Chain A
Amino acid sequence: MPITDAYNAPVKDMKFVLHELWDASELSTYEGYEDASPDLIDAMLEEAGKFMKNELLPLNQSGDREGCTLENGVVRTPKGFKEAYDKYCENGFTALSTDPKYGGTGLPHTVEFMVQEMVVSTNMAFGMYPGLSHGCYNAIYLHGSEAQKDQYLPKLNTGEWSGTMCLTEPHCGTDLGLIKTKAEPMGDGSFSLNGQKIFISAGEHDLTENIVHLVLAKLPDAPEGVKGISLFLVPKFIPNENNEPGQRNGVRCNAIEEKMGIHGNATCQLFFDGAVGWMVGQPNKGLAAMFTMMNAARLGVGMQGLGIGEIAFQSAFDYAKDRGQGRSLAGTQSPDKPADSILVHPDVRRMLLRMKANNEGGRAMAAWIALNIDKSLKHADPEVREQADDFVQLMTPIIKSYMTDAGSEAANLGVQTMGGHGYIEEWGMEQLVRDARIAQIYEGTNGIQALDLAGRKLGAHYGRYLRTFFHPVSTFIEENAMNPDASEFVGDLAKSFGWLQQATGQIAQSGLKDPEEVGAASSDYLRLFALTTLAYLWCQMALKAKAALKEGRGDAAFYEAKINTARFFYKRMLPEAQAMFKMIGAGKDTIMAMDEDGFSIAA
């Protein structure tokens, strides 16, 4: 049995984050979320946690080993996926946060994001099928015509139909201005699409009766580059008058990728050969339409990092506490056993604490962003909505990039903790390394995320997005400067925040003169930003925990662990911020000085 089966959904920590660190009860004051009381949210999380553990986790390792198969254009998903998918739909997980008008449950997105973490922890490859449908739903919901919404959204909500996002082509992924897929108007409002798309997750499979492809393509008279891209809806089966799958459309899967991880998910090459499609939104505005859902998608990928990080941590801990090797450097701890558990070794503890600090900090960050997504959509005051949206815009690249790096690191630390047993297939840990790796790449590589933050979000509206982070942190530091409970943290927080302010000013100024300076600083800047964010969150969490201990409420051990993890983060992780600051300050010179020959001269 794989070691990862030890996993339990971290509902206790989710509740802490939602109700103690933040105040998720505010959600129920928004129009449409009246039912989303803290009790209901908690119940949902408990139920979801059990469902994922019982239904998805058992298919994780088998799905990875079996993978997907393609025969005669038909993709078969691993054994058990179809049955699990049907239960997943029956339980309403495909429609948690979607609009009740189209059959959704209409719960806050915050709940959806927390559930997503559990899905990823238990079976990332599986989770991508409904995940892609959700992205497809959002794009149609935000940009589709009323008729398109009526026709497709209910089917996506029930999970009867699934969805995809078809962007990448063989010669272009990041630079979508280069796409070649063509869409010819047929004169009856429909278009005929021709071209090839690759890396299409869930592009073809046997879980649903129909698949709704959202395809980026160019109209015949489209302008060059990104300004000439339109978005089209291409169903695998064209719906008949009863809105049931009718005639087979001209889209075929002719290969699925052999890849490093997420084997349970079909990554397809799709050929569009005179496929019938309909435009979603305005001509030549396809990329913008795609990008409005990209934010949610990127946040979803950030949650993948967290999900992998959590199961890697739990599994590694489970292994470490029972694995006896050597004796403690401080003297024997378990004289009755042949060896002490490896948990006694400082370096093992270091690895586990790193994972734990990133997971719990990342969960706090995710909840902060998710609550702001709900606020940006539902709050009554438009100014508050705008501010919340500014915040989401700002933090999206940070959580996507930092949390997928952290998830990948956690999986590797998990392998390291287990030694050779981590490296072999049997225990399931190496699968996490392979699965986690893609999250750093898709939905915009982490390098692109860093550029998005430093090059776009930073300067937008003269730094208005930044305000939503910098002002509360600045106020928090001021307010807690004299707070004895905060004294062990707030000085280091202020330092890190100061570096972040300086680096921000520096990038803004140097970027005006030389965009390459922004590019050279971007990844380190994003990391500095993320570490400062986590420091801010860990200080607050420690303060909440200290308050709870003083009041004598709740589970004291939980709060003590929080405070310990906060201290670990401040002393053993936050110092990296200074290194980042120094690297940013070094500018682009050492990066840009070498010519092409210099790279190859040594070989």
Chain B
Amino acid sequence: MSEIKKIAVIGSGVMGMGIAAQCANAGFKVDLLDIVPDGAKDRDIVAKDAIKKALKTDPAPFMHKSRAKYVTPGNLEDHMDRLADVDWIIEVIIERADIKQDLYRKLAAVAKADAIITSNTSTIPLSILTDGMEPARAARFAITHFFNPPRYMPLLELVTTDATDARVREGLRHVCDVALGKKVIDCQDTPGFIGNRLGTLWIQVATNAAEDHDLTIEESDALAGRHFGIPSTGIFKLMDLVGLDLGPYVSKSLYDNVNQGDMFREEYRESKLLEGMIAEGYTGRKGKGGWYRLNKIDGQKVKEVKDLKTGEYRPVEKAKGAALAVSKKGARAVFEAGDKLATAAWEYMSKYFVYAADHALDIANSIFDVDEAMKTGYGFKWGPFELMDEVGPKWIADKLREEGRTVPALLDAVGDGTFYKIEDGERFFMLADGSYTPVVRPEGVLLLSDIKRRSEPVMRNGSASVWDIGDGVLCFEFTSMANSLDEGTMTMLGKTIATIDKSDDYKALVIHNEGKNFSVGANIGLMLFASNIAAWPQVQSGIRGGQDVFMKLRFGNFPVVSAPSGIAVGGGCEILMHSDAVQAHAETYTGLVEVGVGVMPGWGGCKEMIRRHLGNKRAPRGPMPALVKAFELIGTAQVAKSAMEAQRDFLIINEDDTITFNKERVLFDAKQRALGMVEGYQPPEEETFRLPGATGRAAIDMALHDFNMKGMASDYDVHVGREVAMVLTGGDTDVTEELTERDLLKLEQKHFVALTKQPKTLARLEHMLSTNKPLRN
């Protein structure tokens, strides 16, 4: 099979467009074809509109607006010939087998013989889609089921059968995993595969329990919470998020397709209330509202919720109850709390457990795959088997027996053990016969969590740990709250640098962690406290200390590769800019956000923005355009919405850095990158700058004044902006003078500390810490 270079997506609805955009993000040229509406003047209008809409959608399907050009719109009548050189055609059209089969016949007629065709169906079995298909085509046909939105949801269900060519299956797995960055889970060809099968059942039994036990929506959502590893969206909020109109369709289809006697058929209920809401346009967050809505009463925004009994909206109330009061103690405590919430929770979670245990091995290759699918498809912390381990499988089985219910074979097999176990740092999961097999990572996947299980850190303190990830590479992991950076982080980073410097065994450093966010930046709580007690020398030494360590990082004798994922702002961004290379996960959101809390980048962020933008060969000549760009990024606290934006527009990531799409591959890629730099490594030369000083500030001042007049910047924004401009233009200097990187760092120190003496800055810091939202004062 030839490599996949060109992709076509048929159907430009939300899913089709999203898939096309993600393919474009990954660098593929994509044809996006849809129908020709009756009497349309522009026969490509459907696909064209989809692209236009995608460019306005937030969160954005495209990682960079320039990627929209990778998608060529077209229609299914005039442009079928374009499919002739396409390697992979993804069908994302209406969920009707006959229409799909008809399309496949048309595609087969134009596609090249070795093209792969896949469907994004979520409900129609592969066996039906390939029914009547020529065997050679069927061997190159599969289901690739993306989750919505395709850029952001990691799960991809790959459905093949024995009839599928193994090379096709592996080719798809590879492109989806490595290029598109998806968590690819093999599924059996059964209704709803894994995610929809278990997820739909879970939502059904949970809403049934709410109805049967007279729970409010607030109670239901609070009950489906962190103790079960479920995100704060709970059940009803999750439905609002996904869109209420889809649910009944998926449920009905599952009902029709599962076997007689399947638990889902017993639990399935049609909701008149829901049907009514959908009919009135209450389809969730995308519509007028859903189970929840924001209502305006007397000019006040009021959060309202549907009363399940009356069907009317009423103001949201905080849920209370014994089960919720003990929820911090975990799932078992919730089940044992003794109130009606506890009864409801056990009733529906036990059904979910039983259903997962009954069907895991019919729908997936292993319980491990089931868990991985539920985690990556729903954002759960634990899959059903991991959650059962948390509760205690034997406790569950005993309770089921007590209640006269049938105990599933897997729960029987696990006995008083657990579905997962750890031996010698290796994680094992249970097979059908009760034996265990180790979790094996695909090639190119290196997880810090695996390394942490197998070894002890080289060193650690309360803020960071350092791990040996093999081949002479150390990995520096932040371990503080939200991975904020404090004195301890800097101490440990300094020690790590010294260790590698002195060592014959270690030759490179990777900075990486598996937290939700790479780092939220400096610990501003400590800084605020120090500022409040007027401990300015301490504030300044915190700045200087960080600068010193970051400069050592930049000029040290060994390569440093930062490997971020998620949010990397403030100090978290500055650490990237002081690394030799950045191996970023595609979903990295980085920027210098300090002015939002009334301060400015102080750990070399201003200096690096000056250096990077002055060195940008694509920018207009002269220092001012570069400095204005740097000012714009820092002065308005902009955050790149993808690694690609951070690289192309922000210059935070270097031009020669590559981006990793699959989060699980980031560390491996970073390690390879670092090792590739070891041979003949030369640290960069320290740079010097000629900056305009006061003459340059005049232009920025004018812009600030203008923003102020237009109401876009408060008086204090202007004050902070001026302090930033002082640093960016080099302070009291002019172009005849040469400034070093250290000179710029000293300027950062001075103006940073000056800002921490301002009550309005301190008010911003306090507001951010207490509400997690910026204060505009």
How far, in whole Å, are A464 and B533 apart by their CA atoms in the complex? 9
| B530 lies within 8 A of A473 (CB) | no
| B533 lies within 8 A of A462 (CB) | no
| A501 lies within 8 A of B766 (CB) | no
| A463 lies within 8 A of B534 (CB) | no
**Does A471 touch B at the CB level, under 8 Å?**
yes
**Does A474 touch B at the CB level, under 8 Å?**
yes
Q: A470: which B residues are within 8 A, CB to CB?
A: 532-534
Q: A462-B525, A467-B762 are in contact. Are A505 and B533 (CB under 8 A)?
A: yes
Q: A101: which B residues are within 8 A, CB to CB?
A: none
| B534 lies within 8 A of A462 (CB) | no
**Does B535 touch A at the CB level, under 8 Å?**
yes
Within 8 A of A (CB), among B531-561: 531-536, 538
Q: A474: which B residues are within 8 A, CB to CB?
A: 534, 536
| B529 lies within 8 A of A505 (CB) | yes
**Does A553 touch B at the CB level, under 8 Å?**
no
| A508 lies within 8 A of B534 (CB) | no
Minimal Cβ-Cβ distance residue in A for B529:
A463
Q: Is chain A's interface secondary structure helix, strand, loop, or mixed overall?
A: helix
| B529 lies within 8 A of A462 (CB) | yes
Q: Tell me, rounded to whole Å, the shortest Cβ–Cβ distance linking A535 to chain B.
A: 15
Q: A505-B529, A508-B529 are in contact. Are A464 and B534 (CB under 8 A)?
A: no
Interface size in chain B (residues, C-beta < 8 A): 18
| A504 lies within 8 A of B525 (CB) | no
Q: A461-B766, A462-B769, A467-B762 are in contact. Are A501 and B534 (CB under 8 A)?
A: yes
**Does A233 touch B at the CB level, under 8 Å?**
no
How far, in whole Å, are A504 and B759 apart by their CA atoms in the complex? 20
Q: A464: which B residues are within 8 A, CB to CB?
A: 532, 762, 766
Q: B538: which A residues are within 8 A, CB to CB?
A: 505
Within 8 A of A (CB), among B738-777: 757, 759, 762, 765-766, 769-770
**Does B331 touch A at the CB level, under 8 Å?**
no
Most buried by A among B530, B532, B757, B770: B532
Q: A504: which B residues are within 8 A, CB to CB?
A: 533
How far, in whole Å, are A467 and B757 apart by their CA atoms in the complex? 10
Within 8 A of A (CB), among B506-539: 525, 528-536, 538
Minimal Cβ-Cβ distance residue in A for B527:
A462
| B535 lies within 8 A of A462 (CB) | no
| A501 lies within 8 A of B769 (CB) | no
**Does A466 touch B at the CB level, under 8 Å?**
yes
Q: A473: which B residues are within 8 A, CB to CB?
A: 534
| A501 lies within 8 A of B535 (CB) | yes
Q: B770: which A residues are within 8 A, CB to CB?
A: 461-462
Minimal Cβ-Cβ distance residue in B for A468:
B532
Minimal Cβ-Cβ distance residue in B for A472:
B534
Q: Tell me, rounded to whole Å, the shortest Cβ–Cβ distance linking B463 to chain A.
A: 13
Q: Tell me, rounded to whole Å, the shortest Cβ–Cβ distance linking B542 to chain A.
A: 12
How far, in whole Å, are A471 and B528 apart by their CA atoms in the complex? 13
Most buried by A among B538, B762, B769, B770: B762
How far, in whole Å, are A473 and B533 apart by their CA atoms in the complex? 10
Q: Tell me, rounded to whole Å, the shortest Cβ–Cβ distance linking A349 to chain B.
A: 36
| A501 lies within 8 A of B532 (CB) | no
Q: A461-B770, A462-B525, A462-B769 are in contact. Are A505 and B762 (CB under 8 A)?
A: no
Most buried by B among A462, A471, A505: A462
Q: B757: which A residues are within 8 A, CB to CB?
A: 471
Q: B529: which A residues are within 8 A, CB to CB?
A: 462-463, 505, 508
| B766 lies within 8 A of A471 (CB) | no
Other-chain residue from B530, B534, B769 in contact with A471 (beta carbon distance below 8 A) = B534
Q: Tell me, rounded to whole Å, the shortest Cβ–Cβ distance linking A426 to chain B.
A: 51
Q: B759: which A residues are within 8 A, CB to CB?
A: 467
How far, in whole Å, are A461 and B531 apart by their CA atoms in the complex? 13
Minimal Cβ-Cβ distance residue in A for B533:
A470
Mask: chain B, 116-149; 1 = CB below 8 Å from A; 0 = not: 0000000000000000000000000000000000
How far, in whole Å, are A473 and B534 apart by their CA atoms in the complex? 9
Mask: chain A, 474-493; 1 = CB below 8 Å from B; 0 = not: 10000000000000000000
Minimal Cβ-Cβ distance residue in B for A500:
B533
Q: A501: which B residues are within 8 A, CB to CB?
A: 533-535
How far, in whole Å, are A463 and B524 apart by their CA atoms in the complex? 12
Q: A508: which B residues are within 8 A, CB to CB?
A: 529
| B532 lies within 8 A of A467 (CB) | yes
Minimal Cβ-Cβ distance residue in B for A462:
B528
| B533 lies within 8 A of A466 (CB) | yes
How far, in whole Å, are A285 and B766 apart by their CA atoms in the complex? 27
Within 8 A of B (CB), among A448-475: 461-464, 466-467, 470-471, 473-474
| B765 lies within 8 A of A463 (CB) | no
How far, in whole Å, are A505 and B532 apart by their CA atoms in the complex? 10
Q: Tell me, rounded to whole Å, the shortest Cβ–Cβ distance linking B181 to chain A.
A: 39
Minimal Cβ-Cβ distance residue in A for B777:
A383
How far, in whole Å, are A466 and B531 apart by their CA atoms in the complex? 10
How far, in whole Å, are A530 and B50 apart by their CA atoms in the complex? 69
Within 8 A of B (CB), among A127-153: none
How far, in whole Å, are A467 and B532 apart by their CA atoms in the complex? 4
| A505 lies within 8 A of B535 (CB) | yes
Q: B531: which A residues are within 8 A, CB to CB?
A: 467
How far, in whole Å, are A504 and B536 apart by their CA atoms in the complex? 14
| A466 lies within 8 A of B530 (CB) | no
Q: A463: which B residues are within 8 A, CB to CB?
A: 528-529, 532-533
How far, in whole Å, are A467 and B525 apart by their CA atoms in the complex? 14
How far, in whole Å, are A467 and B758 apart by their CA atoms in the complex? 11
Within 8 A of A (CB), among B675-690: none
How far, in whole Å, are A461 and B768 apart by their CA atoms in the complex? 11
How far, in whole Å, are A474 and B531 apart by their CA atoms in the complex? 11
Minimal Cβ-Cβ distance residue in B for A502:
B535
Most buried by A among B535, B538, B769: B535
Q: Tell me, rounded to whole Å, the shortest Cβ–Cβ distance linking B774 to chain A.
A: 16
How far, in whole Å, are A471 and B535 apart by their CA atoms in the complex? 9
Q: Tell me, rounded to whole Å, the shortest Cβ–Cβ distance linking A433 to chain B.
A: 37
Q: A466: which B residues are within 8 A, CB to CB?
A: 532-533
Q: Tell me, rounded to whole Å, the shortest Cβ–Cβ distance linking B127 to chain A.
A: 60
How far, in whole Å, are A473 and B757 apart by their CA atoms in the complex? 13
Q: Tell me, rounded to whole Å, the shortest Cβ–Cβ distance linking B522 to chain A.
A: 14
How far, in whole Å, are A386 and B73 apart by their CA atoms in the complex? 60
Q: Tell me, rounded to whole Å, the shortest Cβ–Cβ distance linking B760 to chain A.
A: 9
Q: Tell me, rounded to whole Å, the shortest Cβ–Cβ distance linking A122 to chain B.
A: 40
Q: Tell me, rounded to whole Å, the shortest Cβ–Cβ distance linking A154 to chain B.
A: 36
How far, in whole Å, are A461 and B528 apart by their CA atoms in the complex? 10
Q: Tell me, rounded to whole Å, the shortest Cβ–Cβ distance linking A207 to chain B.
A: 46
Q: Tell me, rounded to whole Å, the shortest Cβ–Cβ distance linking B686 to chain A.
A: 34
Minimal Cβ-Cβ distance residue in B for A473:
B534
Q: Tell me, rounded to whole Å, the shortest Cβ–Cβ distance linking B486 to chain A.
A: 11
Q: Tell me, rounded to whole Å, the shortest Cβ–Cβ distance linking A511 to chain B.
A: 11
Within 8 A of A (CB), among B567-602: none
Q: Tell me, rounded to whole Å, the shortest Cβ–Cβ distance linking B449 to chain A.
A: 27
How far, in whole Å, are A466 and B534 apart by their CA atoms in the complex? 9
How far, in whole Å, are A463 and B526 apart by their CA atoms in the complex? 10
Q: Tell me, rounded to whole Å, the shortest Cβ–Cβ distance linking B56 to chain A.
A: 39
Q: Tell me, rounded to whole Å, the shortest Cβ–Cβ distance linking B424 to chain A.
A: 34
How far, in whole Å, are A473 and B529 apart by their CA atoms in the complex? 16
How far, in whole Å, are A471 and B758 apart by their CA atoms in the complex? 10
How far, in whole Å, are A463 and B757 apart by their CA atoms in the complex? 14
How far, in whole Å, are A471 and B769 apart by their CA atoms in the complex? 21
How far, in whole Å, are A58 and B535 apart by their CA atoms in the complex? 52
Q: B532: which A residues are within 8 A, CB to CB?
A: 462-464, 466-467, 470-471
Within 8 A of A (CB), among B354-392: none
How far, in whole Å, are A34 and B693 apart by their CA atoms in the complex? 51
Q: Tell me, rounded to whole Å, the shortest Cβ–Cβ distance linking B530 to chain A.
A: 7
Q: List the 6 closest A-B pairs by CB distance, nearest first.
A: A463-B532, A474-B534, A470-B534, A467-B532, A463-B529, A462-B528
Additional 10 contacts, C-beta under 8 A, given A461-B766, A461-B770, A505-B533: A462-B529, A467-B531, A467-B532, A467-B534, A467-B759, A473-B534, A501-B533, A501-B535, A505-B529, A505-B538
15 sampled A-B residue pairs with Cβ under 8 A = A462-B532, A462-B766, A463-B533, A467-B532, A467-B762, A470-B533, A470-B534, A471-B534, A471-B757, A473-B534, A474-B536, A501-B534, A505-B529, A505-B538, A508-B529
